[in-house]
Structure 1
Amino acid sequence: MIKESEYKKRRDALTKKLSNNSLTVVFSAENKTRSNDTNYPYRQNSNFYYLTGFKEDNSALVIAKSKKETKTILFVQHKDEVYELWNGKRLGKLEARKRFLVDAVIVSKDFKKSIKKLCKEKKYLYYDFQQKIPKAKKLLIDNFKTHRDISPLIGEMRLVKSKSEISLIKKAIEITKIAHHEAMAFDKRNKNEYELLASIEHNFKKHGAYSDAYTSIVACGDSANTLHYISNDKPLVNGELILIDAGCEYEYYASDITRTIPVNTKFSEPQRELYNMILDTQLKIINMIKPGVFRSDLQKEAEILLTKGMIRLGILKGKYKKLIKKQEHKKYYPHGIGHWMGLDVHDEAPYLDANKKEIALKKGMVLTIEPGIYISKDDKNVLKKFRGIGIRIEDDILVTKTSYNNLSGGIAKTVKEIETRSQHKKMA
């Protein structure tokens, strides 16, 4: 768990980035209605959570900074017996005062009145330009001529993870590891994608992760060639591969893992050839990771290695430099090599600095590495044995002082490891 002192340290670090005579407001997420009087499960706004660790809605963090002093205020919902009867306990003002290391705690219904006082003599307003501003709080925007986006400043801070954040990510990955290994051992005969998905989500919840980090993908055969396939409702067909892109969220921190496994416990020879080429590429890219390296370097090398591999396998024909220049490889490898990961699976952290220059890897950053090849069953330009195969292999990597740590390295991914685990339950 993350201590209150760490949240305060983050707020103090953010305050140093703010201009004098400024007011900063970071809102909680709003409840979203599913239908009539039922809501979707509540998930706190990541930037608000990063600065407070508070999970309740209708809340706000305010930082009022002048030349002489800075005041930090947390607005929280008041205690309400009727609300709590239907929806659960609220922390309330008194308990919030005991818990949070802020200068003041005020109930949310007094937000307007308090903000009017705080606006006086303040020149700049910081808030998240992407976040929907509650109607009742729109008065903020109307009271300032100069608006600044707070999200890039927080995003920059979120790039480098603390020890406690890394521990939570590791826990999320450990749970995801169990789910993927169970999926490999799952008897897939005469089953459907959603049955395998149920096993994965069962293991997430069983081991303390009450939410997935994103909508899971369980894509058999040609379905894997739809990158954001979330229907998960097709039969598991003997002889096909299943691309499983699934990761849980533990205490708001994400994991993001993809493994591609056979339905009938064994890879066919063409599947094995393509899989090993992609795995070899992934291992080489991961081995490049260290402080000072740019993500674009990883992307370029991945494109070279995958293109050369596709030439060797007969999927592409020609010289790799010309093929890359013409973007021919993009037909089979259309996405990036990876992304930042943390409080969000695609962490809200910048790839470019304030001067629009690419940010180099640094100790404490966490990113995914996920090469893949996707060949439609209808692609007549490719040898028939490769058609209908979609493969992605994805791991979560921590940048260390001199190199890297593959946080998900314990999840089986060689052909031998996967085939062994796929036969586990049948042998038992």
Structure 2
Amino acid sequence: MNENHFLNRRNKLLDCMEEGVAIIASAPHLIRSNDSEYPYRQSSDFYYLTGFEEHNSILILSKSFTEIKTILYVEAYNAEYALWNGAKLGIEKARERFHVDEVRDSAEYAKEIKELLREHINLYIDLFDESEILIQAKAAAKALRETRGVKRHIHSIRDVTYLIRSLRLIKAAEEIETIKTAIAITAEAHHDAMRQCCAGMKEFQLQAAMSYVFLHRGAMNEAYGAIVAGGNNANTLHYIDNRDTLRDGDLVLIDAACEWELYASDITRTFPVNGTFSDVQKEVYEKVLDVQLRVIEAIRPGVKRDWLQTYSEELLCDALIELGILSGERSALIEAKEHKKYAPHGIGHWMGLDVHDPCPYVDESGESLAFEAGMVMTIEPGLYFRADDENIPERFRGIGIRIEDNILVTEEGYENLSAMIAKSMEEIEEMCKG
């Protein structure tokens, strides 16, 4: 993305702030075992404001009545580090690249933070981050409070993540295009999985087929741990073992997707291992798909997410009654949460720089947010019938179906960003033949 996009985001955050200093830190490296690290992934909030993917970086936004200043701390070039791990951008190149007032050496942050906080009254940080960077900032604030001659000192510590994530809720055009790229690659991977699937394969072999597409297309990261669940494994909602053998006559549920420039996609498709839906599988699949299509059709600006959740639960409960899984009046069944045994999760979640974007779902009064153009949400109804559930007709046992798409709220209504991925039974069976 163009550096101006990140500059605009920083300016929007400054507009949301009262007088004070905001500190936003990059993500640390995480140890996998001993001296081996997990592949690095930048903090979404830090990336949103900078577009910078290096660790040990710090963004400072300082706002007073007379001055606004933006400072970016980065690691200085180190020849030995470059030899082993590759060169960092360094201070001089960072000054050329970023539209900030100053670029400083990260090694100097601890010595300079006290002066940066001097005469400020608000400190904006991630309240739940216990990193050394923020420990040093709070220590500096405490020291200033006890220093003679300092007329104003930090007396309010505020949550900067709430402000950032509120901004992240509405996606700009360039963000939507990035998400579309991630979805396009994910679509290719799901279609490859459908074409390659056959009885006798291992679940991890289908996962490998999708991973190949991601990497071959340049999507270096999965957006989350892939779920490839054959048969009854689909009834474990976060099944990630992906080790079992796919059996003829079973369905396989794949919930897997990639990132592109740190923006996520999140897609689930359920299809027959042998390429042909059985009659009972068609019966259940038709219900889940109908619910999904009707919920998506209801999306438009002004609709509230909690209403959409209620509407989806009503539709799923009706489906369970029509299938003969539940009996009775819908309202009574929902009040007793009987439908939750078979449709336990929400209808969807925000999506963006995180697959579960941590943007607010309610306003400051606790009221559910209404949809606005630019919001991106998953819609993912599911029905799950465990193989050991003797309270349901035997023909349904072991079937688990979820269908998930990524939906953009538009001025006119919605756009299904993942509409190109085979979803109807006819489309899926045709894709499986390939």
**TM-score (norm. length: structure 2):** 0.96
CA distance in 2, matches of 1:130, 1:247: 28
CA contact (8 A) 1:112 1:137 kept: no
1:137 Cα shift?
4.7
Residue 85 (structure 2) pairs with residue 87 (structure 1): yes
CA distance in 2, matches of 1:208, 1:119: 42
Comparing 221-230 with 353-362, greater Cα deviation is found at 353-362
Residue 185 (structure 2) pairs with residue 166 (structure 1): no
What are the residue-to-residue correspondences of 1:22-421 with 2, within 5 Å?
22-134=20-132, 137-142=134-139, 143=141, 144-421=154-431
Q: 1:187 to 1:226 in 2, by over 3 A?
A: closer
1:145 Cα shift?
3.9
Aligned to 2:8: 9
Q: Deviations over 1:94-133 (max 9, x none)?
A: 0000000000000100001221211110111101123332
Stretches of 4+ moved more than 2 A in 1? Answer: none
SS at match of 1:342: coil
Query: What letter matches 1:60 in structure 2?
Result: I
CA distance in 2, matches of 1:130, 1:417: 46
CA contact (8 A) 2:270 2:403 kept: yes
SS at match of 2:95: helix
Query: What letter matches 1:56 in structure 2?
Result: E
SS at match of 1:391: strand
CA distance in 1, matches of 2:311, 2:369: 18
1:301 Cα shift?
1.1
5+ unaligned residues in a row in structure 2: which ranges? 142-153
Aligned to 1:18: 17
Query: What letter matches 2:117 in structure 1?
Result: C
CA distance in 1, matches of 2:41, 2:396: 41
1:392 Cα shift?
0.2
SS at match of 1:71: strand
SS at match of 1:397: strand
CA distance in 2, matches of 1:376, 1:333: 12
CA contact (8 A) 1:193 1:234 kept: yes
Query: What letter matches 2:179 in structure 1?
Result: I
SS at match of 1:106: strand
CA distance in 1, matches of 2:405, 2:128: 29
The total of aligned residue pairs comes to 421
SS at match of 1:388: coil
1:36 Cα shift?
2.0
CA distance in 1, matches of 2:200, 2:251: 14
CA contact (8 A) 2:264 2:354 kept: yes
Q: Deviations over 1:387-418 (max 9, x none)?
A: 01110000000000020000000100011110
Q: Deviations over 1:133-169 (max 9, x none)?
A: 22x5512113144210101100110000011000000
Query: What letter matches 2:160 in structure 1?
Result: I
CA distance in 1, matches of 2:376, 2:197: 34
CA distance in 2, matches of 1:102, 1:114: 17
CA distance in 1, matches of 2:64, 2:208: 53
CA distance in 2, matches of 1:299, 1:213: 24
5+ unaligned residues in a row in structure 1: which ranges? none
CA distance in 1, matches of 2:91, 2:134: 20
Q: Deviations over 1:232-289 (max 9, x none)?
A: 0011011100010001000000000000011111111111100000000000000000
SS at match of 2:271: strand
Q: Deviations over 1:311-356 (max 9, x none)?
A: 1111111111111111000000011000000000000200011222
Query: What letter matches 1:348 in structure 2?
Result: P
Q: 1:145 to 1:133 in 2, by over 3 A?
A: farther
Comparing 223-232 with 140-149, greater Cα deviation is found at 140-149
Comparing 299-308 with 361-370, greater Cα deviation is found at 299-308
SS at match of 2:288: helix
SS at match of 1:335: coil
Q: Deviations over 1:12-65 (max 9, x none)?
A: 010011111x11100000001112221100000000000000000000000111
